Amino acid sequence: MKVSFAKMSESTAEDWGIIMQEQKAFVSKLPDRIISHLELLRGDYGGFPVDRFEHSLQTAHSAAEGGEDEEYIVCALLHDIGDTLGSTNHPDVAAAILQPFVSEANHWMVKHHGIFQGYNFFHYLGLDRNMRENYRDSEHFERTERFITKYDDPAFDEKAKKIPLSLFEPMVRNVFCKPKNSLYKDAFDAD
């Protein structure tokens, strides 16, 4: 079903009732689209010892083994999902996808993980490895530093046990079931 206005300024409450019904159905399929997009990272090694898909699974598995909560584990799984479309700003892309569904702390961690991971290699590229120090005053600095040290940095092990994506699919579905940090959050609550 669709509405017939040519300009939003000509829309009616009835139109928006129809649109929101369609949007709720579309958003309900977001976890499927995210899982499909994550699978695009298969076979993309970029010179690394494991492909980006395996790196994502290793990071999430380590976070799960480390006792992190479901939302954190999903952030670990999706922290590099932006590599396909945002090759030069993948943390921003991943953070934008996650922002409506996760806490500010987890959003900040994903958004800044690239600069924090840079501590381990920026100096080889002629960049300042201490760039993360610009964020030292953030209340999320230690959380992000810990994410890199415990989960992201060691997740390039080609000898690690292979973990199936299916292990994380229910978590992705739970985290993405309803936006909680969105301008439209209340609109998704209404029936």
User: pLDDT tens digits for 102-117?
Assistant: 999 999 999 999 999 9
Q: Which pair of tokens denotes residue 122?
A: 């920026």
What's the pLDDT score for residue 106?
A: 98
**What gap in Å lies between CA 3 and CA 76, rounded to an integer?**
39
Judge if pTM exceeds 0.75. Answer: yes
Question: pLDDT tens across 143-191, in order?
Answer: 999 999 999 999 999 999 999 999 999 999 999 988 887 776 676 665 5
Tell me how far apart the alpha carbons of residues 103 and 187 are, in angstroms, rounded to a whole number: 19
Domains of the chain: 23-189 (1.10.3210.10)
pLDDT given at position 178 = 82
Q: Over the stretch 33-72, which tens digit does the pLDDT of each residue have?
A: 999 999 999 998 889 999 999 999 999 999 999 999 999 9
Nearest to 28 by CA among 183, 170, 177: 177
88-145 pLDDT per residue, tens: 999 999 999 999 999 999 999 999 999 999 999 999 999 999 999 999 999 999 999 9
pLDDT in the model for residue 182 = 73
CB 42 within 8 A of CB 53: yes
Average pLDDT along the chain:
94
